[in-house]
Homo-oligomer: A and B are copies of this chain.
Amino acid sequence: MNKIALAIHGGAGTILKSEMTVELEREYRAGLENSLKTGWEILQKNGSALDAVEAATVALENFPLFNAGRGAVFTHEGKHELDAAIMDGASGKAGAVAFVKNVVNPIKLARLVMERTEHILLGGDGANEFAREMKVEFAPDDYFFTEHRYQQLLQARETGKVQLDHSVEAASGEWRVAGEIQNPKSKIQNPIGTVGAAACDVFGNLAAATSTGGMTNKRFGRVGDTPIIGAGTYADNRTCAVSCTGHGEFFMKTLAAYDVAARMKYKNSSLIEAAQEVIENLRNIGGEGGLVAVDALGNVALPFNSDGMYRGSMTADGEMRIEIYR
């Protein structure tokens, strides 16, 4: 029997203790704890890493304070577009969806892409059509309405006037990433929150899952790192399982999730070394964020280069670790 391990996150960014209330911090911790317990219970009963990361991520998607599933941020049009990916390190199979709408648990849909099609990534209306055929659970827009996210949209629309302006100049290089990497003025009001999990089960199988609501006020069908295998999500039994969070474009161009595995495979870095190197490499090019990773020996790594990352882990000692700040 292998040592089981589970690591989860609820997003990285500017999270300062000085600006957090006791009540809000308690809520965040409860959300992380619920996810960890859900995934851990599966692993303890000799369940698969794949089932554990899916269940842990579903719990985070259903928790309204994170930017995924129910708590997803608003797009420019006042809608919610959800991305998710899952990868099974045992088979090397993966599934992902980009900008699906009204799907309660995008991570479940990503798993269906993996198991029920020959494809890996489905996007847009086509992905929603697939969701309908698969009879997954849908919810009306109301379900995804959260007051803090709506305030965030109003604020982004106000401060980010370029995003309302359809001129070519406005679109060029002036967009601001909101939701993930925060405006310093709106730290607590704009909860950070791509969510994800990485796990190792008793059989030594690894899996990773990530889910997000993307960027507040986003336009133009922007796809971030979350649904991109190798960028935001990756798993391979021979190396590690990784779920990332942060400024997506930096994770995409550095293939951050796969790069942890590549450093382990090709230069024999340990999980901890490889994960730390990837986050340092991101910092060197100006990319803010973090990741959670596990290997087949049951080790976990949760490095980040931002002020904070909502995160938690459980390893064979059975101790639950939940942290928010640096």
Name the residue of chain B whose CB is nearest to the CB of A255.
B230
A45 within 8 A of B: no
Chain B residue numbers with a CB within 8 Å of A231 are: 229-230
**A124 at interface by CB-CB < 8 Å:** yes
Contact A119 B230 (CB under 8 A): no
Once the chains are docked, how many angstroms separate the CA of A240 from the CA of B124? Answer: 32
Measured as residues with beta carbon below 8 angstroms from the partner, the interface class of chain A is 35 or more
Q: Give this chain's copy count.
A: 2
A233-247 contacts to B, CB under 8 A, are none
Report if A150 contacts B (CB, 8 A). Answer: no
Shortest Cβ gap from A188 to chain B (Å): 25
Report the bound CA distance from A275 to B308 in whole Å: 39
Q: How far is the CA of A173 from the CA of B95 in the complex (A)?
A: 13
Set of chain B residues within 8 Å of A222, measured between Cβ atoms: 119, 121-122, 126
Given contacts A173-B117, A230-B231, A267-B267, are A255 and B253 in contact (CB under 8 A)? no
Known: A118-B176, A119-B222. 20 other contacts (CB 8 A): A92-B285, A94-B253, A117-B171, A118-B249, A121-B223, A121-B228, A122-B221, A123-B221, A126-B222, A127-B221, A130-B221, A133-B166, A134-B171, A135-B168, A228-B228, A229-B252, A230-B230, A255-B258, A258-B258, A258-B262
Residues of A that sit less than 8 Å from B by CB: 87, 92-94, 98-99, 115-127, 129-130, 133-135, 166-168, 171-173, 175-177, 219-223, 228-231, 249, 252-255, 258-259, 262-263, 265-267, 285
